[in-house]
Amino acid sequence: MNDSNSTERLVHVPLGERAYDILIGPGMIGRAGGEISTRIRARKAAIVTDENVGALYLEELMDSLEADGIEAVSLSLPAGEKTKSFEHLMKVCDVLLEARIERNDAVIALGGGVIGDLTGFAAGIVRRGVRFVQMPTSLLSQVDSSVGGKTGINARQGKNLVGIFNQPDLVLADTGVLNSLSAREFRAGYAEVAKYGLIDQPDFFAWLEGNWQEIFSGGAARIEAIAASCQAKADVVVADERENGRRALLNLGHTFGHALEVATQYDSRRLVHGEGVAIGMVLAHQFSARLNLASPDDAARVEAHLKAVGLPTSINDIEGDRPTPDILMDAIAQDKKVKGGKLTFILTRGIGQSFVADDVPSSEVLRFLTEKLEA
């Protein structure tokens, strides 16, 4: 890991004509007007946020845009996963059209992954595409959903099933806003940070095991961890932008995690996305051990680290009634990685040795989940 004490980092995503920069550091909201006017030359903007984030940061962002001569309108939506819906997508599109946002204007997503996914989808379909700026305000969105161009909404049948690939034109990750997150929200985002080490960077995972407390306390390790995570995701996205191969590795833990989110009906009181991913990554390592692909010691190490930072690591850690194996299997069958009706999982041969496993027998998955739910 880079031991630099710099308070700002830049990660470049080289996608040809769609290349963009990710600026990481404190104070990005106050600098937004200058960065947007200089980098993408927008003179008009529409900000989409949620009611919680907007109450904290919308005024500062509006002032920054105004100071640099950018005329802006805003829309605040309810906070929570249920906002990723057709209803709210239409509301965002209506606001953009009513404001006469044109292709060279900027649509700004100020919020976490829900706002980023929803706003990016709207920005990609209004007038067949307008300029899009991600301003992620949660750790999870700063290291994952704001980078890579996946946008969309949820459907009754599952999570993120309706959407498009729409790369942002700029990402401004203000690390200062992370201090306003609850401990639970920060932990949930950390699950995605740990994921990058578990995919293919065992040294990064080992570094996280030794430095997670400084990451949580807001020391220099926090910016370093975010930058390393963004760089890891950018590298994968550049190699496989449309998820035809290697990019699927970014879904480590997500097949199980998404199924748990569906089973809990996206009730954030019971489970939030990062918590589902944490449980899912443990299950993926345990399932890999069950198939004799990896050592049980690796699964135990993953579980121990995620438990140490305060994340749930078992289905039994979720409050309320446990889902049935059949409910989970139905959700898994709707997963976007299913091809030709065959189950695809991200499994592992050890820490940092993840791989795409095609045609995983559904009978093995059902037996594994049944045992976990009965334990």
Residues that are catalytic: 128, 150, 192, 233, 243, 247, 251, 254, 258, 273
CB atoms within 10 A of CB 220: 16
Backbone angles phi, psi at 219, to 5 degrees: -75, -175
Cβ distance 105 to 44 under 8 Å?
yes
Alpha helices in 86-152 (DSSP H): 86-98, 113-125, 139-140
List beta partners, residue 174.
Answer: 25
For the chain, the farthest-separated pair of C-alpha atoms sits apart, in whole angstroms, at: 61
Burial (Cβ within 10 Å: 0-12, 13-18, ≥19) of residue 85: middle
Sign of the alpha-carbon torsion through 156, 116, 232, 139: negative
Q: Are 188 and 272 in contact (CB under 8 A)?
A: yes
Name the residue type at position 27: G
Q: Please enumerate in sequence order all residues whose Cβ is within 8 A of that of 94, keeping only pairs 6 or more positions apart, or say none.
A: none
* Residue 239 burial by Cβ neighbours in a 10 Å radius (0-12, 13-18, 19+): exposed
Is 309 in contact with 298 (CB distance < 8 Å)? no
Contacts of 46 (CB under 8 A, 6+ apart): 72, 73, 74, 75, 95, 96, 99, 101, 105, 106, 107, 108
Q: What are the residues whose beta carbons fall under 8 Å from the beta carbon of 104, sequence distance 6 or more?
A: 41, 42, 130, 131
